[in-house]
Amino acid sequence: MRPKMQFQAGIAEKMEKLLQVAKNLNEYKRIQCVYFRAKFDYSADLIAQITGYKLQTVRNIHSSFLKQGVNALKVNKKGGRYNSVLTFNEEKKFIQEFDDKAKKGGIIEVSKIHKAYEEKAKQKVAKSTIYRMLDRHNWRKITPRPSHPKSSIEAMEQFKKTSNTQSDMPGNRLKNNENL
């Protein structure tokens, strides 16, 4: 087993200052890992028990600190759209063309949007990418209420005028018969 490398002089004081300005718990614990070793020469196993990290995580923090310095202790935020083809603003401009057509009463098909998107991106994308993009920009599917192809609007209007809706209700039949 190779001997453990020592930190430079003054690292403990530097870590004390960093502990006071740590932005979140994860960053604080990473600084503690270096601080406990620099100030008290604790073993990686003891530091792991104190901080709640696994032993290998503590060793990785020490190793990266020796290679990169203070930058190794900063925590990168996770999340975001790392694999996006177009930026949010580019998507917004792209959808604006279809939005104008939709406002004029045109029917927008996802297959046409998909084809245009692939042409703009110059690569193939899944159809789910288009649906997620539309959802991101608050587009939703609005379809007209279905109607029977043989239905007649005039017949429906005539029925509304001539039917007595109160007497057609099941509970009202007895009352209407009693009045006769």
C-beta separation of 116 from 129 below 8 A: no
What is the pLDDT at residue 178? 53
Tens of pLDDT, residue by residue over 66-109, are 999 999 998 877 777 778 889 999 999 999 988 888 888 777 88
Q: 83: closest CA among 115, 119, 121, 110?
A: 121
d(CA 180, CA 165): 18
C-beta separation of 85 from 121 below 8 A: yes
One DSSP character per residue, 101-134 reads HHHTTPPP-HHHHHHHHHHHHTS---HHHHHHHH
pLDDT tier for residue 2 given thresholds of 50, 70 and 90: confident
Tens of pLDDT, residue by residue over 5-46, are 888 889 999 999 999 999 889 999 999 999 999 999 999 999
d(CA 115, CA 33): 52
